[in-house]
């Protein structure tokens, strides 16, 4: 399906353009996948704690975050750290689908997030504050599937923030008592809870990386036509292609 849609994209005209696109990808994308690298993409509405979660995972303040009436994160960015001897790349994104970004800017940032996480992703963390899960989150996941492909849910973990405000031992019970949350958790690869107020709690990060490792063992890292074409087209051209998908 994606391959058919891409036929409407104007092909690269020169070898120089291909070289520039390859150079851009090599300099900015996350490291090539191997057993020592982990690629993580943060998804979710604005203000849910994506940037804070990225900082918690990396163990230090790398992403700008804080309460604001407008989105703090305006463009997709990547930060890396070595955790337990492994290179971990975290790609933070704007609040896709729930943002004041123009369609043009939104498409470009979606494209940028794909470029930064090429050639593939070990886990997409769909970030939701504990106690604030609504039907809209389920709708956002449907849009994520539209862009990244239906198999993307095999690599999605529901990440609850505000872990300091919940009783973790009762999370399964809480989830079972909410039809929408239970349905989403079952469609994804489970859930995880983070307390972003405590960057020193590395056990919660180790537990998350273990869950991601489990996905990798069972599924490998996620890549599809979206990622394959992102490695062939310049960012601007690829953004125009994604815009046609997002507008549907």
Does the structure show a pLDDT above 70 at 22?
no
Of the candidates 72, 115, 67, 70, the one whose C-alpha atom is nearest the C-alpha of residue 91 is 115
Pairwise CA distance, residues 30 & 44, whole Å? 20
| Residue of 26 and 224 predicted with greater confidence | 224
* Spatial CA neighbour of 109 closest among 38, 63, 199, 42: 42
Decide: 63 and 22 in contact? Cβ < 8 Å.
no
Average pLDDT over every residue of 179-197:
92
| pLDDT higher than threshold 90 for residue 153 | yes
Residue 146 lies in a domain: yes
**R_g (Cα) of the chain, nearest Å:** 18
81 neighbors 59 (Cβ within 8 angstroms)? yes
Establish if 129 belongs to a structural domain.
yes
pLDDT in tens, 58-93: 999 999 876 554 455 678 899 999 998 999 999 998
Q: For position 239, what pLDDT does the model report?
A: 79
Residue 123 has φ and ψ, to the nearest 5°, of -155, 135
Kindly state whether residue 7 falls inside one of the protein's structural domains: no
Residue span of the structural domain in which 126 resides: 36-246
Average pLDDT over residues 208-231: 86
pLDDT winner (highest mean) among 108-122, 132-146, 157-171: 157-171
How many structural domains compose the chain? 1
Instruction: Give the CATH number of the domain where residue 92 resides.
Output: 3.40.50.300
**Quick one: pLDDT at residue 4?**
31
Higher pLDDT, 238 or 31: 238
Quickly list H helices, the chain. Answer: 2-5, 15-28, 50-58, 103-117, 135-148, 171-176, 179-187, 202-219, 225-230, 235-246
Whether residue 5 has pLDDT greater than 70 = no
**Residue 117 domain flag:** yes
Residue 87: per-residue pLDDT: 93
- 21 belongs to a structural domain: no
9 part of a folded domain? no
- How much is the average pLDDT of 133-160? 87
Predicted confidence at residue 9, as pLDDT, reads: 30
* pLDDT at res. 14: 39
| For residue 6, pLDDT beyond 90 | no
Cα–Cα distance, 229 to 233 (Å, whole number): 6
**Is residue 22 one of the residues assigned to a domain?**
no
Across residues 184-202, what is the average pLDDT?
93
* Interatomic CA distance for residues 158 and 156, integer angstroms: 7
- Determine, yes or no, domain membership for 81: yes
Terminal-residue alpha carbon distance, the chain:
14
118-137: average pLDDT: 88
Spatial contact of 128 and 247, defined as CB atoms under 8 Å apart: no
For residues 66 and 248, give the distance between their C-alpha atoms in angstroms, rounded to a whole number. 32
Q: How far apart are CA 44 and CA 98, in angstroms?
A: 8
């Amino acid at each position: 399906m994606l391959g058919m849609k891409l036929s409407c994209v104007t092909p690269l005209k020169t070898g120089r353009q291909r070289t520039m696109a390859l150079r851009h990808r090599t300099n900015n994308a996350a490291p090539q996948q191997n057993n020592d690298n982990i690629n993580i993409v943060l998804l979710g509405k604005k203000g849910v704690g994506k940037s804070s979660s990225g900082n918690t995972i990396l163990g230090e303040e790398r992403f700008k975050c804080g309460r604001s009436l407008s989105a703090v994160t305006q463009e997709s960015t990547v930060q890396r750290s070595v955790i337990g001897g492994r290179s971990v790349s975290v790609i933070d994104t704007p609040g896709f689908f729930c943002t004041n970004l123009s369609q043009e800017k939104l498409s470009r940032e979606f494209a940028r997030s794909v470029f930064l996480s090429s050639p593939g992703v070990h886990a997409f963390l769909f970030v939701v504050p504990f106690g604030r899960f609504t039907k809209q989150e389920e709708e956002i996941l449907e849009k994520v599937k539209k862009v990244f492909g239906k198999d993307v849910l095999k690599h999605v973990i529901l990440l609850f923030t505000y872990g300091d405000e919940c009783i973790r031992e009762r999370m399964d019970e809480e989830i079972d008592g909410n039809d929408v949350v239970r349905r989403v958790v079952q469609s994804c690869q489970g859930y995880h809870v983070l307390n972003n107020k405590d960057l020193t709690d590395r056990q919660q990060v180790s537990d998350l990386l273990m869950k991601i490792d489990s996905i990798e063992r069972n599924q490998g890292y996620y890549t599809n036509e979206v990622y394959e074409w992102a490695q062939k087209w310049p960012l601007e051209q690829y953004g125009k292609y994604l815009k046609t998908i997002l507008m549907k």
